[in-house]
Structure 1
């Protein structure tokens, strides 16, 4: 293409003549370096190189020829590393580095509401370096956006596609040459990773017909590739002037294309996407050499361009300076180099729609301004794809039926407890009731009612309990059950202790000195210990609501929704230690009560001694408590199973204790 430009009549009229080296490297660094050295070893001195276009060739070639003081003018070579003037001081390109496209990609993400993306780049290539990833991170992290995965693909792209699938990636920014990209997209098609929910980002310098090469370089057909990349986005340098202004050559982009098609017999050969930049780069080289010659003449130097030698650093600097100073209006737009030897062109954003590529927006790097054209982006069903599945949290509540059942049973238990209270009050003057300490029995009833009440507090759907008050409800459950347990079993313990005290007293006259007030104080002391532990716990280590996943996520293939059932729990940092303390206190009461019951087992007066009944109660409570600990540890995340099992154990234990203590007395009367 460059040779055709050099033979163009308009170009010849402006070009003053000099030695330019033009060749086709086919993006292969070995042949490129070989041919360059062969040319440098010829008799004809090369003043300037036009090219290379491929970054894979530009890196090693410019480094290899650095000491030859040759200036390079290339239409492309967009690798980020080529901006390093310490390594590439004489390289100029009519393009901008790929990293400068990052702000445009960020602007697109913001426009479409995307905050999650994966970065996928070709390995072992300077063009698609990790610098892009770092730049993306720098712009995304302050916004709170996320790079889901960083992928580098080589000869097994299917592994990367599977990784994207596992991580539910929807937006992928790919950095690769077209041929490896074809293999990558083909694997995506084979694995079913395509459709309206998947959006690929590619460089816009891909040829419009790049999918046509699919049968030759991949295992997919052209149509399969087009299906996989449908609605994909292309971001890159604008390679033509959309205003159709007349450039320095006297042509517009449209008139140039007419001449170009005549030259190519109406076809668009591979690489024709860069035709305008190639044309302008050749003009830039010519104008720079003209400027160099003018400077030599103006300063009275006897040297001319043909006098350049590779060791002539002064003239080499003059040529490079002239290249950097030239600015003109080309058919691709305004051409002017910055301090890195790059330009600041307009960024074009295109979208793949079937077999066509549509320009949807322009982005100005200097002003960070996005201009939408041609109706903007098109999406299936006029809906912008989501950047990830929408995670929908469904709170799990205690089943209404289960709650009603347990509450009904608790209510019946409370009614029975009040019945025992009435019985205990009405018949308190009878010897059998009076001898069994009716006042203390009332404490057993009160404690049992509190234990029953614990069942009534649960997180039921439709309840008036807000999330912020959930921990308060748990505190109430903690208090009612702990205090209720201490009242009930503390009272039984106190009764047994009185019998034991009477039997072990050395002076029979003091047997009746253990009055109810003393027993009340004993129970009150036990309750006070529980209250002290609870108050200390909730003062120093307050409950906080945590959300736990109750089930595995449930995906709905026909939508972007992932349903995740959660339960709300209240936990604290030292929950285990305070709970263990309460267990220890209650355990000591049970153990001591069992000891006293054993010590008083020989008392024959049933009205006075409840040791056997207390023994049965302790056996039931210990058994049920062990079951409760096991169930609580195994079904903790199953709200209904946990509530139902623990409530059932509480109801059984409380009902058993009440009936064991009071039912024999009721039957006697």
Structure 2
């Protein structure tokens, strides 16, 4: 019934035609005592409230639709914003004969808090027109201050407006700054971060600052900057906001790419304040440009609307302004809330006293909580004793504030103004652009061309080796092992091409198969080529270091078995790897960097295996041992130059080359693994160069011999090396066997004799060398090396 009556009153009040017909002035009535707390004395001087109160009383008392037969009787008490004075005034009012049915005011939290806590025991309603402290909106406030209401929107509305502002522009990540030593800012800030997270906005970091340690704000802002925060919501006092903005400017956190959402102080004096901010005037002006200020609105934006009392809002605003014009009083930003506050009490009292019922504090509290009418500050509605009012968002442009948006808490509406509708908001973070790191097209073409030329060179050597396999010079160098070297080299050349293939050229599924292909070709290619060279070097070493009377020939089949065993180890490891830890395509993101306000995130496609390091270590260990043994054998046979094994010297050089190139290539590839072009170029270079040089060292001498001796029948002129029986002959023995030696020859005679003997021995040596060559060739064809049992050796 009460709600229906309140609705009927509201309809009558808001319709100007009906109000002139039925709501008539009433100069008399039973007074209803109401205590009014304000502060005009003492050190804390506040603007006058009486002019606005008088305007509201005049409109209420001249409308018989409200308080028919009653009138409001206000008793003013000056609390001086002191707790003691406020409590004294309260007790005097409560003890007086005309105890107030409600308290209207006050302004200062120091007074409102103890009064609100005490009034609950008398069940007296208190309606504040200026209290904004967040302690009256905490979880336990309904228990501590159950009869306290405030007509001015609190931080709950402001937080809703900030949250809607952030989401309106599509920002999903913000940073915040809070003043930790001031509950007026710290408490609502905690509620704000919770609300932002509920709105799917990620609060990246909260920078804490205190008034006493404001010099440390630079460190906190640096942490925000390190996290690429572009939208910053600050809850700090007017005293330090300038220092915060100045430090942000020094750290490059202001400008068109950043947005600061600050508390509104209902003035821009802090921007032009004489307080030292640490920045010069020009720098500070540039730093504050473009920020948002969020504060409760002092009047509704649609002033042409009809409000309570049947008048337009613009008319009431004009009357309020005229009531405090000139030098008569100080302008009060709460004048609209003073006006709406008294109307709230009047309407609630009208409902509580309806039908001549005796006054009830309970009905009054319920009526205030159920208030719903259009006031000069917007629609008046309460939720948990909190006014759900209008919050304005101001935008600082060109040295002045402009209305950017309004949030109506009563209707839960957020509306942008025309001034900002075409504004392009900055991103909440640098534009994140994932750039796939790929091997340069030209580099891939060049490397593939070089690898293809290497394959053609290997095929040429293979063809010549097969065609002239019966040529004496090639036949004696194990053509079967040479073929294996060629095949292994071709595999390594092919692996280079496979290393540069990515998803630009093949599908993702095929790319995974390519992971296996390039791993197997490179590993098996190295094993075949190096294993064949190793086996040939091992045979030379065995021949010249392990001489026994019963030594058997080391045939190619034995060398093939050795290479086959090495290949078997590779296949075993690679197969186990593929079975237990298969490859998959992984996109690895590398270290990001910024370019033109765009965050570039390089992404590298690579073959990924969970236990790749284990199997790589096994392969590296096997091949490392093989290379160390190869180096040892090459060193041991460095002086060998046997015509029957004519390429042992070049094989040793190839072994050294493979070891050096493999070590350098592996190290550089590991260091440059995140620089795809450099890693691919250097890895390919080492593989191609080492493989090509190995082929050339093995086959070019044979090609030279084929050109010099196509038929393979011409003997080499002079062989470097002497048989032991020849070398051990000394000059003293030769003189003894010569009958013409007298011991008295001149130097000229000695020289002539030596020259003659030298020519004779040269012819003799040449003859015996030719005979030895023929015999060694026959033994070589038979695969027999027992000729070494006589202890012959050759030295470089």
What range describes the TM-score normalised by the shorter chain of this pair? 0.7 to 0.9
- 1:667/1:364 CA distance change after superposition, 3 Å: same
2:641/2:649 contact within 8 Å kept:
no
Give the Cα–Cα distance (whole angstroms) in 2 for the partners of residues 180 and 595 of structure 1: 76
Give 2:273's aligned residue.
215
Give the alignment partner of residue 36 of structure 1, picking from 79, 86, 111.
Answer: 86
The 1-side partners of 2:564 and 2:275 are apart by 86
C-alpha distance after superposition, 1:152-206 (max 9, x if no partner) = 33332752555444444322223344454455445545666433333232456x4
SS of residue in 2 equivalent to 1:481: helix
* Partner residue of 2:695 out of 638, 644, 658: 658
Shift of the alpha carbon at 1:126? Answer: 3.2
Give CA deviations for 1:578-617 in whole Å, capped at 9, x if unaligned: 1111112222333455566678889874434765444333
3-state DSSP class of the match of 1:479?
Answer: helix
User: CA, structure 1 residues 236+404, in 2 after alignment: closer, same or farther (shift >3 Å)?
Assistant: same
Which of residues 324, 330, 334 in structure 2 aligns to 1:274?
A: 334
Q: 1:174: which partner in 2?
A: 234
Give how far 1:378 is off.
4.6
Q: CA RMSD in A?
A: 4.1
Q: 1:617 aligns with which of 647, 654, 671?
A: 654
Q: Where in structure 2 are the equivalents of 1:324-403 lying within 5 Å? A: 324-338=369-383, 340-363=384-407, 365=409, 368-374=412-418, 376-379=420-423, 383-399=424-440, 402-403=443-444
Length, aligned pairs only: 636
Q: 2:128 aligns with which of 65, 74, 98?
A: 74
Tell me the distance in 2 between the aligned counterparts of 1:224 and 1:266: 36
- Structure 1 residue aligned with 2:54: 7
Q: Provide closer, same or farther for how the CA distance between residues 467 and 57 of structure 1 changes in structure 2, counting only shifts above 3 A.
A: farther
- 1:483 shift after superposition: 0.9
1:124 equivalent in alignment to 2:181:
yes
**2:794 equivalent in structure 1:** none
* Counterparts of 1:589 and 1:186, CA distance in 2: 66
Q: Does 1:537 align with 2:594?
A: no
Structure-to-structure mapping, 1:148-163, within 5 angstroms: 148-155=204-211, 156=214, 158-159=217-218, 160-163=220-223
Partners of 1:251 and 1:331 within 8 A in 2 = no
Instruction: List per-residue Cα deviations over 1:616-647 (Å, max 9, x = no partner).
Output: 33322222222223323333333333223322
Write out per-residue CA displacement over residues 20-47 of structure 1, whole angstroms, 9 at most, x where no aligned residue. Answer: 555476xxxxx43132123235476463
**Residue 496 of structure 2, aligned match among 445, 449, 455:** 455
Relative distance call for 1:19 and 1:110 in structure 2 (3 A) is closer
What residue is the counterpart of 2:672 in the other structure?
635
Q: Deviations over 1:74-93 (max 9, x none)?
A: 13434444233012211101
User: In the alignment, which residue of structure 2 is the partner of 1:28?
Assistant: none
- The C-alpha deviation readout for 1:636-665, integer Å capped at 9, x for no partner, is 333333223322222332233223333333
Q: Deviations over 1:529-581 (max 9, x none)?
A: 3233233324433243233436x62443xxx3344555444343322211111
How far apart in 2 are the matches of 1:344 and 1:534? 71
**Greater Cα offset, 394-403 or 620-629:** 394-403
Rate the CA distance shift 1:353–1:467 in 2: closer, same or farther, 3 A: farther
CA offsets, 1:118-163, max 9 Å, x none? Answer: 22233333333456445544554674x4223212333327525554
Separation in structure 2 between the aligned mates of residue 147 and residue 668 of structure 1, nearest angstrom:
78
**Alignment of structure 1 residues 83-482 onto 2, 5 Å:** 83=137, 84-129=141-186, 132-133=189-190, 136-137=193-194, 139-140=196-197, 143=200, 145-155=201-211, 156=214, 158-159=217-218, 160-188=220-248, 193-203=253-263, 206-207=265-266, 209-211=267-269, 214-217=272-275, 219=277, 227-235=286-294, 237-241=296-300, 242=302, 244-265=304-325, 272-289=332-349, 298-299=357-358, 317=362, 320-338=365-383, 340-363=384-407, 365=409, 368-374=412-418, 376-379=420-423, 383-399=424-440, 402-459=443-500, 464-465=505-506, 472-482=513-523
TM-score by length of 1: 0.80
Whole-angstrom CA distance in 2 between matches of 1:601 and 1:188: 71
CA distance in structure 2 between the partners assigned to 1:250 and 1:99 by the alignment = 30
| Runs of 5+ unmatched residues, structure 1 | 26-30, 305-314
- Whether the aligned pair in 1 keeps the contact of 2:436 and 2:604 (CA below 8 Å) is yes
State the 1:49 CA deviation.
Answer: 3.3
